[in-house]
Structure 1
Amino acid sequence: MVALLSTNVEPVDRNAVVRTLSVAIAGATVAALGIAFAGLGFRPDSTTTRALIYLAIKLAFAIGVVGLAMIYLMRLARPGGERMISPLFVAAPFLAVVVLAAISLWSAPPAHWGRMIVGDDWLECLLSIPIIAIVPFAVSIWAVRKAAPTNLVRAGAFAGLVAGGVSAMSYALHCTDDSLPFIALWYGGTIVLCTLAGAALGPRLLRW
């Protein structure tokens, strides 16, 4: 009987999780870009050299967050995957932008610090990134549920981290606040909020 049953067992596709998550996040990125464009529009000075430089910095930060978080999320989606990784490396983009922000503040007169940190649209950033992140987060959770994560808090947190990074990447195409302290605080802070929300919701949404 055992021999008969074993003949019908199909080999496990170890790359299925990677493919599912990759396709899901790619689709979520397109959706987030569409939401940002429809709701906010692109920044009007996007063709100037200065705007392109700071847009590249914002995108590099957000893409770095998404790329590293995706690596961890793909591992966490597998049973026992949390034992194979240390999540500390994913903090690298945050540390990099904080260091750049500190250098920027140090080189500027103290009278300018408040404007550099708060910017013009801090409230819009604070609201927009978490709102845009809803769709990428839902898609990430759907993809992770296709696998079998065992650490639901951490898997939810990294799904939120991916979603926050995708949302920040989309919002960057609209945002005209370009100072590095603003990026570190409001982009980084809202991505962290998305991560915490994912950690809180993960056990409910990913329960088998």
Structure 2
Amino acid sequence: MKTDEFINTLTSDLRPQRSLHWVLLCGLLCGALLAALAFAVFLGFRSDILSALTSIRFLFKFVVTLTLAITGTYATLSLARPDSAGNHRSWSLLITPVILVGAVAVELMVLPSRSWEDNLVGHNATHCLTVIPLLSAGPLLCIFAALRRGAPSEPGLTGAVAGLAASGIGATFYAANCTDDSPLFVVAWYPLAVLIVAGVAYFIGARALRW
């Protein structure tokens, strides 16, 4: 190899690469677009969407799901690196449960006890447990593709947290279709759907993100 070719080979490795943060955010955007497409084709907004927009309970669902998507992404960025520096970011994942528990406490104080069970069971439990994982599949696939650029020291855990971020996106779209708005329904079924996604993502991540 000639000297100038050798120098070019060495310096090519020094050229700035797109950061993992940028790649992951692009993956999230692509995943959100896939979820939006699936939502538009197979679900769509609930029929009373205009009146629902005036309901605090309906809007609160998006506070929960978007918080999960954001904190899940924040924690995933930390875990994607081999040193896992800044793992304290994982504490941000507690924000969503705290918000949800607070809302449930308020709901229990506002609603008469005879209506608690009906609001907890709701009308769309099976739909929720099915649709949220399906809407999360596209975002999860895109996040994993981005994470291949990283080197997580705990691939299974990283995959599970990525599943939380993906399910936050999927649940956000599902919330626009779901007609059960009570925090009691949300606390009973949304987390279960999220855990399904996170559990599958854990096993995928343990294999696909290993290095």
What TM-score do you get using the length of structure 1 for normalisation?
0.89
Instruction: Write the distance in 2 (CA, Å) between the matches of 1:150 and 1:12.
Output: 24
Larger Rg: 2
Could you tell me which residue of structure 2 aligns to residue 168 of structure 1? 171
Q: 2:161 aligns with which of 149, 155, 158?
A: 158
Instruction: Write the distance in 2 (CA, Å) between the matches of 1:9 and 1:40.
Output: 46
Which piece of structure 1 moves more, 31-40 or 156-165? 31-40
* Equivalence map 1:17-36=2 (5 Å): 17-36=20-39
Instruction: Write the distance in 1 (CA, Å) between the matches of 2:12 and 2:31.
Output: 36
1:90 maps to a residue whose letter is L
Instruction: Write the distance in 2 (CA, Å) between the matches of 1:205 and 1:25.
Output: 18
Q: Deviations over 1:48-102 (max 9, x none)?
A: 1555533321111111111111111112111111x42132321211221122113
Whether the 8 Å CA contact 2:52–2:58 is kept in 1: the answer is no
* Equivalence map 1:71-110=2 (5 Å): 71-81=74-84, 83-86=85-88, 87-110=90-113
Instruction: Write the distance in 1 (CA, Å) between the matches of 2:50 and 2:110.
Output: 27
Secondary structure, counterpart of 1:133 in structure 2: helix
Could you tell me which residue of structure 1 aligns to residue 14 of structure 2? 10
Instruction: Write the distance in 2 (CA, Å) between the matches of 1:90 and 1:160.
Output: 12
Q: Report percent identity of matched pairs.
A: 26
* Equivalence map 1:101-120=2 (5 Å): 101-120=104-123
What TM-score do you get using the length of structure 2 for normalisation?
0.88
Q: Deviations over 1:116-153 (max 9, x none)?
A: 10111111001110111111111111110122212101
Instruction: Write the distance in 2 (CA, Å) between the matches of 1:169 and 1:50.
Output: 14
Shift of 1:107: 2.8
Instruction: Write the distance in 2 (CA, Å) between the matches of 1:35 and 1:54.
Output: 25
Shift of 1:196: 2.2
Residues 178, 201 of structure 1: CA spacing in aligned structure 2 closer, same or farther, 3 A cutoff?
Answer: same
CA RMSD, Structure 1 to Structure 2 (Å) = 2.1
2:184 maps to a residue whose letter is P
Residues 121, 7 of structure 1: CA spacing in aligned structure 2 closer, same or farther, 3 A cutoff?
Answer: closer
Residues 11, 182 of structure 1: CA spacing in aligned structure 2 closer, same or farther, 3 A cutoff?
Answer: same
Instruction: Write the distance in 1 (CA, Å) between the matches of 2:87 and 2:187.
Output: 26
2:193 maps to a residue whose letter is T
Give unmatched runs, 5+ long, in structure 2.
Answer: none
Q: Does 1:200 align with 2:203?
A: yes
* Equivalence map 1:33-48=2 (5 Å): 33-48=36-51
Secondary structure, counterpart of 2:199 in structure 1: helix
For this pair of structures, how many residues does the alignment match? 205
Secondary structure, counterpart of 1:47 in structure 2: helix
Instruction: Write the distance in 2 (CA, Å) between the matches of 1:12 and 1:76.
Output: 22
Shift of 1:9: 4.2
